[in-house]
Amino acid sequence: ETGVTQTPRHLVMGMTNKKSLKCEQHLGHNAMYWYKQSAKKPLELMFVYSLEERVENNSVPSRFSPECPNSSHLFLHLHTLQPEDSALYLCASSRLASGGAGTGELFFGEGSRLTVL
């Protein structure tokens, strides 16, 4: 199995739909992240979970709702999205050192390509 697995790889949804993106990591890491990748823009950090507790929420609209039930799984629940939310959503994981600082290296999944009609 690959280190970080995201499903689905592609998702098309209408603005009134509710869907979820799933991420699973098999690396024994204790931090997980959601990033948004749009064309010609820097990667945007959306959420960070450290030891299953949300520690960062970078002003993300409430139509995106993360869930981290355990250290291996991360979800991004989507509802009433807008066309400008169409992007590649990347999940990543890392190991935190004692004290909660990052060790630097993020391991990414292949992403979920979302299209909102």
Partner 1 sequence: GNSVTQMEGPVTLSEEAFLTINCTYTATGYPSLFWYVQYPGEGLQLLLKATKADDKGSNKGFEATYRKETTSFHLEKGSVQVSDSAVYFCALRGGSARQLTFGSGTQLTVLP
- Residue 4 or 78 having the CB closest to partner 1: 4
78: nearest Cα among 8, 15, 35, 32:
15
Show the tokens assigned to 31: 């931090």
Local structure of 84: helix, strand or coil: helix
Sort strands 64-70 and 53-57 into parallel, antiparallel or unpaired: unpaired
**Phi/psi at 83 (5° precision):** -55, -30
Mask of contacts with partner 1, 66-105, x by CB under 8 A? ------------------------x-x-x-x--xxxx-xx
In this chain, which of 11, 21, 50, 114 binds partner 1, going by CB under 8 A?
A: 50
CB of 94 vs partner 1, minimal distance in Å: 8
Show the tokens assigned to 6: 């995201």
Q: Can you give the binding site for partner 1, defined by CB under 8 A?
A: 4, 6, 31, 33, 40-43, 45, 48, 50, 55-56, 90, 92, 94, 96, 99-102, 104-111
